Amino acid sequence: MKICILMGVTPFPARKNGLTLRYYALAKSLSETDNEVSLRIFPHIEKTWNQDDIDALQAAGIKTTAADSYPIKTPSITQKILARVSALLPSGKPLSQISYNYKTACDYFNTSEDFSDFDVVLAVTSSIFELYDQLPKAKKAKMVVWDEVDSLPLHFYRRYQAGDSVLLSKKYEFIKYKAWERDLINRADKACYISKVDASFSKGNADKIIVLPNGIEHSELHDAPLVDLHSDSIGFVGDMAYRPNVKAVKWFLDNVWPDYVEKNPSCYFYIVGRSPEQSVYDEAAKHKNVVVTGSVDNIWSYYKSIKLFVCPLFSGAGLQNKVIEAMFASKPVISTTIANAGVNAVNGESIILADTAEQFTQALNTLRHDASEAHRIGDEGRRYATKNFDWSTLTEQLLTTFRRHLGY
C-alpha cells in the first residue's frame, strides 16, 4: 500500500508534545513495514517546520516532504465579528475551530497537493482533515482516515466533572463540538481515537471508528542511564504547562503530601517535565522535599530511577502516556480512575487506583512498606504495557484495518 501521513506540524523532536510523540513513533513504525509510506507536512497556520527536523526524520527512515508556507493575513475587525456570529449559529463551526485564513489555505492546498496516487491518507487533526476533504475527488486517495487523537468534547466534559467553572458560552461550544465531531466522522472513511473512552464519547458511527493507542519505544528505556535521586522517591512526569498536569500536581501537594512527608521524612516527590509554569515552582516551595526538574535530557532515566509513580489526574482525555511508560519501566503506579480510563489496567493487578487523598496515602504506605507487593505490581504493569502497547503490534492492526476497507 501507498500511505501518506498528512500533518500540519513536524513530528520532531518526538517528545515536543503529545502529537509529535504519537506520530514520530507511528511514522517510524509504518516506515519499517513493506508499505510505501510518506510523511507530508502542510503548514496550515504558519511555517511550523525547519530543515533540520526534516533531515532528522529522513535519517530515522521516514520519507518526509514539506510544503512552503503561504502568506498569513491579519484578520480585519469585520472578519472577526463575522466569525463570532457564525460560531453562534447552530450550523457554524465551534469558535476555536474557525481559521481566518481558511480560504487562503484551501486555495494554496488545492494548488500544491495531490494524493490520487495514494491508497490511504491519514489526516492528522481536524484542520488538516478539512483541508483534505475539500479537495476535488480526482485529487483524493482511495481512503482517508481522520485522527484527532483525543476527543475534544471529552476534555471539556472532564473539566466540568472536575469542578471547573464553565461559562454558558462554553457549554454551548461543547454542544457544537459534539455535533461538529460527528459530522467529521461521517465525512471520513474512518475516524481514529487514542482510546476506547474517547471513541465512545464521540457517539459517532461505530463502524467508522478505529482505536489506536500510543505504543512504547522499547529501546529508549533500555538505553537510558540512571539519574541520582533520593532512594525513597515518588515521581510524576508530564508537560507542566498542560493545565490538567498542573492541577494534578497541586492537588497532590495540597491534599496528600503535607501529612505524608511529615510521617515519612525520607520521601521526596519529583515533578518531572518541561515548561513548568511559575505556579508549580511556587506551590513546590511551600512543601518539604519537593523537586521540580523542568526539562530533562532523557525522561526514561527518571522513570527508571524513581521508586513509585503517581498520576493524580482528575481531568483531561486520551491515553495517559505517562502511565503506560511508568508501567513499562516496572514502576508501581498509583493512578486516578480517570487517568487509567484509556489504559484499562486492572486495579490491584497491574495498577493501584486511588481517587481520594486517603486512598493515595494508603496506596503509598502499602507499596513503600511492602516490597514484594510493590515488585508484583511493577512486574504486572510491565507485562500489561508490553502486551497492549507495542508499536509493531498496533501498526499491524492499523494496516489490517486499511486492507479490509480497501479490499486488499
Q: Do the beta carbons of residue 283 and residue 262 sit within 8 Å?
A: no
- In angstroms, the Cα distances linking 73 to 49, 70, 93, 128, 130 are 19, 10, 20, 19, 20
Phi and psi torsions of 96, nearest 5° = -70, -10
Give residues with Cβ within 8 angstroms of 360, minimum separation 6.
252, 255, 256, 310, 312, 334, 354
- Here the cell at position 290 is 519537593
∠ Cα 400 401 403 (to 5°): 65
Q: With a cut of 70, which residues of the chain have pLDDT below it?
A: 44-48, 159-169
Residue 123 contacts residue 202 (beta carbons within 8 Å): no
| Dihedral angle, C-alpha 173, 177, 178, 184, nearest 10 ° | 160
**How confident is the model at residue 166, as a pLDDT?**
56
- At 100 the pLDDT is 78
Q: How many Cβ atoms from other residues are within 10 Å of residue 356's Cβ?
A: 11
pLDDT of the residue at 84: 79
The whole-number pLDDT of residue 192 equals 96
Give the per-residue pLDDT at 101: 80
Per the listing, cell 519505544 goes with: 217
- Rg for the chain, CA atoms, rounded: 22
